Copies of this chain bind each other. A is one copy, B any other.
Amino acid sequence: MRDAYHEELDSIGEGLVDMARLVGSAIGRATTAILDSDLKLAESVIEGDKKIDDLQHDLEARAIALLARQQPVATDLRIVVTSLRMSADLERSGDLAQHVAKLARLRFPERAVPHDLHATILEMGQLAQRLMAKTAEVIVTKDVDLAMQLEQDDDAIDLLHRALFQHLMDDRWKHGIETAVDVTLLGRYYERYADHAVAVAKRVVYLVTGEHADELQPEIQPVTGAEGA
């Protein structure tokens, strides 16, 4: 019985890794879609989000069944409850990747991102994808040091986000309001995506070290203008 139980517990962990991989791929493809104005790619991300949602529902159902059947306590209980939260974060990251793809579709055949912001958005997209790849690795390895490194990647995204706003607020901005609105939302999508990835990694730290979630929940602030928030 205990063996079947730990198999179930492991399969929940595997489900989280599958979700993280799909969500990581989604943000990478969404970024390419918006930079290249690639409608087919955008649509594949939008449709692919259903699979991420399905994985989450499946994972939740298994976690709840496991709670009911096995009634875990102590560490095992903490793992199951925390897994539920991680799956919610990953599902939400998938939504944000989908938002990027939907913006690409909305503006097609135009490009939502002007040339002078291409490099910034590309870098935000790459960092976000890398963050999620590391998060998947943290789930597999439970490597606390790697999880702590994610903070730095997240800081890098925040810096890019600020640079984006500085560029927007610059008097020489010449792309009009619609593009400003698009870029504002895009910046927010990447920032929130990264926040969720970091939150997942930190929940692994919580499971390993037992540190309270208080210190682990990233402070999420609006970044408007160069002066931050």
Contacts and interface: CB of A to CB of B under 8 A. Distances in A.
Interface of A: 53, 57, 60, 64, 67-68, 71, 73-74, 77-78, 81, 84-85, 88, 95, 99, 102-103, 106, 165, 168-169, 173, 177-178, 180-182, 184-185, 188-189, 212-214, 217, 220-222, 224-225, 227, 229
A77 B65 CA distance: 10
Contact of A84 (B77, B78, B84, B185): B84
A175 B31 CA distance: 30
Copy tally for this chain in the complex stands at 2
B225 A178 contact: yes
27 contacts: A57-B212, A57-B213, A57-B214, A60-B213, A64-B78, A68-B73, A68-B77, A81-B84, A99-B221, A102-B222, A102-B229, A103-B222, A103-B224, A103-B229, A106-B224, A106-B227, A165-B181, A168-B177, A169-B177, A169-B181, A178-B225, A180-B181, A181-B224, A181-B225, A184-B185, A185-B188, A185-B224
Nearest to A212: B57
Interface of A is mostly: helix
B177 A220 contact: no
A21 B84 CA distance: 25
A189 B220 CA distance: 13
A165 B81 CA distance: 39
A208 B57 CA distance: 19
Nearest to A182: B224
Nearest to A229: B102
A77 B73 contact: no
A15 to B, nearest CB: 16
Nearest to A170: B177
A173 B182 CA distance: 16
